[in-house]
Amino acid sequence: MTINRTDTSEADRQVPETTADIIERLGRFEGPPEAFLANLLAAQCRIGGAESGAVLRGGLGRTLEVLALYPPQPASGVQPAWLTLAVEAVSEVLMSGKTAVKPLHVASELYGQPARRQLILVPLKGSQSTRGLAAFVVEARDPAILATVAQRLELTVSLLDLYEMRLLLQNRQMDLRRLRFAMETVAAVNEHDRFQGLAMALTNELATRWRCDRVSLGFLRGRYVHLRAMSHTEKFSRKMKIVQDTEAAMEECLDQDVEVTYPVAEDATFISRAAAELARRHGPSSVLSVPLRHSGKVVAVLTLERGKGPFALDEAESIRLTADLITPRLVNLEEHGRWFGARAALGLRRGLAAVVGPKHTWIKMAAIVILGVGLFAVFGRGEYRVEAPFVFQPIEQQVVPAPFDGYLESVKVEPGDEVVGGETVLATLETAELALRLGEARAEQAAYAKQADAAASLDKTAEAQIARAQAAKIAAQVELLEYQIAHARIVSPTSGVVTSGDLKRQIGAPVKTGDTLFEVAPLEALRAEISVPEDEVADLEVLQRGELATASYPGLRVGFEVERINPMSEVSERQNVFKVRVRLDTAYPWMRPGMEGLAKVDIDERRYISIWTRTVVNWVRMKLWL
């Protein structure tokens, strides 16, 4: 385990002090933390009777660092053996959070003999966790004495918390002092409502408050910083050497976006060549350049020069706070103080920067797409089409009626079946009763024929004529019955497809002469009927061209021509529609009456924005009566 050592202590006092004096002195200590820890460790060793002590920070996986060691040793000195034992016990003490006592054995002690010296480990607790521990070497064997010493050491550890509270209070008081200085400066200069007056008041106020020889304010214009105000100087020229050197120092600060000071601290990471040149040529003086940020960007630089001495850290922070508070008003007055053309150019530049800059990429892409779609809609032209559903209908349709009164015996076809004219039997009617009546009529006809022959042989002319008349009457009935029996098999009169006549569930039902049983439509003669909404029918004309596609074959487009527009509307699906009949260019074998799909009629060429907004515009016109 690596141990970093920091040996800093204050010389032991020559005048004996009581415990109360030591605690009072540490309670009023105002030096740096390193000196306080050294003095606290020395006081703890004196109060607790410890011969050695150390304050360690870290542990539980972190590198241990020795913050203070008593008695102090040179950095190149040998590490005490007890300090190694303290390092090994750090994890145990930090995890338990309680004071621990470890024996310190030496080689001269006999085996099994109690240790003469003990190592007392006191944890240093913070607000949320244990920050480290203090280790003390005490020469004692009595447990009661060790317990008393441990209690004294634990009590003196609270002085560290008291010192930290005092440091926190001092930092807060310093923050309040910085805020007060900043607010006083802002209040003193904010009464001006013009940029030049505000800039002069600001530079003069800062020069007076921080005892500066010169305070300058420069604003970024394009790629360079231009000096806009200098304390106690109403007029200056950019050709002056001091102005050029000041602007160079400001640009150096602006490019790095960090406070630049001169003289430079040893651990500084910024470049201060221009600041050093300004101090050398127009000093000797100390230089502090503070960037003024607005909306996350450096827009101006404030440069302070004085010969009194370098700017302290708290002074730089106070000046930075003042700059942060006054920058928004400075920028606002500087922009509004320009003439109209410059303000317009600045606004245009910002707008273009927002458009072509690297920020808000997705919003810009969306805006570009929307703009492109808008331009395409306004200037692009396309074919305006009326879209409406359609259904195939046959041009000719053969009705197959019932040939006589009877009962359905069988049904051979269903809607959608293809039939051949003169061959396909559609249905049959019952003929059993007709056959019985036919037999009776033939027997009765034969009887009347014999009766006529007998009357003729007896020269009974009148009776013979009556018998022949009855026979002729019965013969007509026989012919009728034979006709009905012959036509009981209902055959399709034409080839095509059955469009209606689902009678299989009505077998045995009575039918009357002339009742429509089936409808057969030829496949080679089909047309489409389009149902056009009433708000679009005015755009249609006879002979207009279009295309349709069925739900069965959506990828196949069939051309057509408008043949007839029905002048009367119909209600379909709760809206008024007009039936438009069209003639197909091509009839395919798969087409069937009743098939549905979507038809598009070509009207004319229009702008896309007119096509896309037609429905909305018409609705607004109707509502507003335009």
What does the pLDDT look like over 25-41, one tens digit per residue? 777 777 777 877 888 88
Question: Residue 119's pLDDT is what?
Answer: 84
- DSSP 3-state assignment of 577? strand
Using CA atoms, how far apart are residues 39 and 72, in angstroms rounded to an integer? 11
Residues in the chain: 626
Tell me if 329 sits within 8 A of 201, measured CB to CB. no
Question: Residue 216's pLDDT is what?
Answer: 93
- DSSP 3-state assignment of 45? helix
Question: For the residues of 145-199, what is the DSSP string, one character each?
Answer: HHHHHHHHHHHHHHHHHHHHHHHHHHHHHHHHHHHHHHHHHHHHHTT--SHHHHH
Taking Cα atoms as reference points, which of 397, 434, 398, 401 lies closest to residue 503? 401
Task: For residues 290-295, give the mean pLDDT.
Answer: 90
Task: For residues 299-310, give the mean pLDDT.
Answer: 89
For residue 510 the two structure tokens come to 């009575």
Q: pTM of the full predicted structure?
A: 0.46
Q: How confident is the model at residue 596 (pLDDT cuts 50, 70, 90)?
A: very high
Question: Residue 454's pLDDT is what?
Answer: 84
Taking Cα atoms as reference points, which of 243, 208, 34, 58 lies closest to residue 132? 58
Question: Residue 498's pLDDT is what?
Answer: 84
Question: Residue 288's pLDDT is what?
Answer: 93
Rg (CA), the chain: 57
Tell me if 299 sits within 8 A of 220, measured CB to CB. yes
pLDDT digits (tens, 9 = 90+) for 42-61: 888 888 788 888 888 765 55
Question: Residue 303's pLDDT is what?
Answer: 93
More confident of the two residues 203 and 32: 203
pLDDT at position 6 over 70: no
pLDDT at position 515 over 50: yes
Q: How confident is the model at residue 115 (pLDDT cuts 50, 70, 90)?
A: confident
- If one counts every other C-beta atom within 10 angstroms of the C-beta of residue 612, the result is 12
Tell me if 461 sits within 8 A of 488, measured CB to CB. no
pLDDT at position 7 over 60: no
Using CA atoms, how far apart are residues 399 and 153, in angstroms rounded to an integer? 120
Question: Residue 10's pLDDT is what?
Answer: 44
**What percentage of the chain carries pLDDT values higher than 70?**
90
Q: Where are the beta strands (DSSP E) in 75-159?
A: 100-104, 117-125, 130-139
Question: Residue 350's pLDDT is what?
Answer: 65
More confident of the two residues 614 and 157: 614
Question: Residue 4's pLDDT is what?
Answer: 45
Question: Residue 3's pLDDT is what?
Answer: 42
Question: Residue 76's pLDDT is what?
Answer: 62
Task: For residues 111-118, give the mean pLDDT.
Answer: 72
Question: Residue 389's pLDDT is what?
Answer: 94
| β-strand partners of 57 | 65, 132
Using CA atoms, how far apart are residues 624 and 626, in angstroms rounded to an integer? 6
Q: How confident is the model at residue 13 (pLDDT cuts 50, 70, 90)?
A: very low
Question: Residue 106's pLDDT is what?
Answer: 67
Residue 238 half-sphere exposure toward CB, CA atoms < 13 A: 8
Question: Residue 314's pLDDT is what?
Answer: 82
Question: Residue 12's pLDDT is what?
Answer: 45
pLDDT digits (tens, 9 = 90+) for 385-399: 999 999 988 877 788
Question: Residue 162's pLDDT is what?
Answer: 78
Mean pLDDT, the chain, rounded, equals 82
Burial of 556 (0-12, 13-18, 19+ CB in 10 A): middle
How far does Cα 28 stand from its chain's mean position? Answer: 58
Task: For residues 73-99, give the mean pLDDT.
Answer: 75
Residue 477 host element (H or E): helix 461-486
Question: For the residues of 549-561, what is the DSSP string, one character each?
Answer: EESS-TT--EEEE
Using CA atoms, how far apart are residues 88 and 426, in angstroms rounded to an integer? 108
Question: Residue 128's pLDDT is what?
Answer: 57
Question: Residue 496's pLDDT is what?
Answer: 81
Q: Name residue 327's amino acid.
A: T
Task: For residues 89-94, give the mean pLDDT.
Answer: 77
Q: How confident is the model at residue 559 (pLDDT cuts 50, 70, 90)?
A: very high
Query: Rounded to 5 degrees, what are φ and ψ at 141?
Result: -120, -25
Strand order in the sheet with 52-57: 3-5, 64-70, 52-57, 130-139, 117-125, 100-104
Question: Residue 16's pLDDT is what?
Answer: 62
What domains does the chain contain, in order, with CATH numbers? 3-170 (3.30.450.40), 190-344 (3.30.450.40), 398-519 (2.40.50.100), 525-624 (2.40.30.170)
pLDDT at position 2 over 50: no
| β-strand partners of 564 | 581
pLDDT at position 346 over 50: yes
Tell me if 244 sits within 8 A of 275, measured CB to CB. no
Question: Residue 456's pLDDT is what?
Answer: 82
Burial of 18 (0-12, 13-18, 19+ CB in 10 A): exposed
Question: For the residues of 46-67, what is the DSSP string, one character each?
Answer: HHHT-SEEEEEE--TTSPEEEE
Q: Which residues, 6+ apart, have CB-to-CB distance to 503 below 8 Å?
A: 408, 411, 427, 509, 517, 518
pLDDT at position 164 over 50: yes
Q: Where are the beta strands (DSSP E) in 164-285?
A: 214-221, 224-230, 260-262
For residue 194 the two structure tokens come to 């013009």
Most confident of 185-189, 219-223, 402-406, 563-567: 563-567
Question: Residue 557's pLDDT is what?
Answer: 92
More confident of the two residues 162 and 331: 331
Tell me if 402 sits within 8 A of 514, measured CB to CB. yes
Q: Which residues, 6+ apart, have CB-to-CB distance to 478 below 8 Å?
A: 438, 441, 442, 445
Using CA atoms, how far apart are residues 392 and 426, in angstroms rounded to an integer? 23
Question: Residue 292's pLDDT is what?
Answer: 92
Tell me if 384 sits within 8 A of 605, measured CB to CB. yes
Taking Cα atoms as reference points, which of 306, 320, 279 lies closest to residue 214? 306
Question: Residue 255's pLDDT is what?
Answer: 92
Task: For residues 460-474, give the mean pLDDT.
Answer: 84
